[in-house]
Structure 1
Amino acid sequence: MLGYWLFSVLGVGLSCVDCRRHRLPHSITGTLWVICAFLFTAESVYHRQVAHLAEAALSGIAVSAALMLLAMALPGQLGLGDVHFAGAIAFTLGWLQWENAATAIVAALIFQWIWTVMAVAKTHDRTMTLPLGPALFGAWVVTIAIA
């Protein structure tokens, strides 16, 4: 599907931007969310698979809401770009099954935690910031590969 190809190309770009700037642009990740929603809706209407669209939408909205609450509870840790990117990931994987979306988000958070622990152990700098985008996109790629 076109939505997965678009997401894979933009996901690589967003991960690179996040590595360099430690910031996922909210405008790009939000636009990615909207474009994927449009493409998956068109696919759903064409193939008459409303259940897949509903599962994808609920997955994306649930992840976005949960991470938005986490971002508000821990200011400075997650930005709106991270929240939107994770929501778009959950939406695209939720099309397959909501379990895939949940697995990818949890795997990304675990990978990020391990990466952070290793980086802090190496540098002894507890104030360092690490980008979340590459962990999210990596979990998306692995989940797509095994799904």
Structure 2
Amino acid sequence: MLGDRLDAWTASWWVLVVVGLLTGAGVGVGIRSVLARLRRGAVLRPGGVEIACAVVTAASLAAGWGTARLVILLWAGWLGVALAAVDLRHHRLPDALTLPAWGVSAALVVGTSLWSPGSGSVPRAVLAAALVGGLFWLVWRIAPAAMGRGDVKLVPALVLLTGYLSWGAAVLGVVLAFVTGSVVSLLGLLSRRMTMRSALAFGPHLLAGCWLVLAVPGWSAGG
């Protein structure tokens, strides 16, 4: 009996992964097409975006299936693929994606709250986005070289998602971004592929931090 249940669970898991890979690849085609049409987007070769989106989608489904956070997890993954592709290539985050992302993230957390009451807090999400976004703006105004303006515009959309889960998630998403960014910079310096004046594309680290916190909410404290 237990063996039959395990076999059924394994089969269902593989179906979920396959569906995620196929769906993600299709979404990746759409993302690459949109990026090519944006005035400050990017023209990318076929393959990379599709593969990245397929992997992120499958991982999002595996991590969030059956939970209220699934939709915002998928959105964070797809937004991450789109913006990271541009930032890594051109060191910019287009306003055409970062600014509308505020509205999409807000709509998704409100929708998630209505669909699953008690799964998070919309007021907390808004307050966290305002506080963290304001802090990033202040840092940018004081030391513009410390981060890009696109990063400042991106942060509220991401903290809306993590802040919906908890204050700990909102903080941890940003902390992970700085930790991973520091590690990449250190490795770049040690390998001599970067210098102290090299610019680091910070957007992908912010996006990865957000997605990781949503995928593994147990990392952060509740509340």
| TM-score category of the 2 structures, normalised to the smaller one | 0.7 to 0.9
In the alignment, what sits opposite 1:127? Answer: 197
Residue 114 (structure 1) aligned with residue 186 (structure 2): no
Q: Residue 65 of structure 1 corresponds to which residue in structure 2?
A: 134
Q: Shift in Å at residue 47 of structure 1?
A: 5.0
Checking the alignment, whether the CA contact within 8 Å between 1:15 and 1:133 is kept in structure 2 is: yes
In structure 2, the gaps of 5 or more residues are 1-69, 218-223
Structure 1 segment 1-147 matched on structure 2, within 5 A: 1-45=70-114, 47=116, 52-123=121-192, 125-147=195-217
Equivalent residue letter for 2:195:
D
**Cα displacement string for residues 63-117 of structure 1 (whole angstroms, at most 9, x for unaligned residues):** 1101111111111332232112222221101111111110110111121122112
* 1:57, distance to aligned residue in structure 2 (A): 0.7
For 1:126, what is the secondary structure of its paired residue?
Answer: coil
State the percentage of identical aligned residues.
25
Aligned residue pairs, count: 147
Query: Larger RCO: Structure 1 or Structure 2 (Cα < 8 Å, ≥ 6 residues apart)?
Result: 1
Structure 1's 38 and 145: CA in aligned 2 closer, same or farther, altered over 3 A? closer
Tell me, what secondary structure is at the counterpart of 2:201?
coil
Question: Aligned with 1:76: secondary structure?
Answer: helix
Cα pair 2:73 2:215 within 8 Å, conserved: no
Contact 1:26 1:80 in 2 (8 A): no
Q: How far, CA to CA, are the matches of 1:140 and 1:3 in structure 2? A: 10
Q: Is the 8 A contact 2:73 2:214 kept in 1?
A: no
Shift of 1:134: 1.4
* 1:64–1:87 contact (8 Å) kept in structure 2: yes
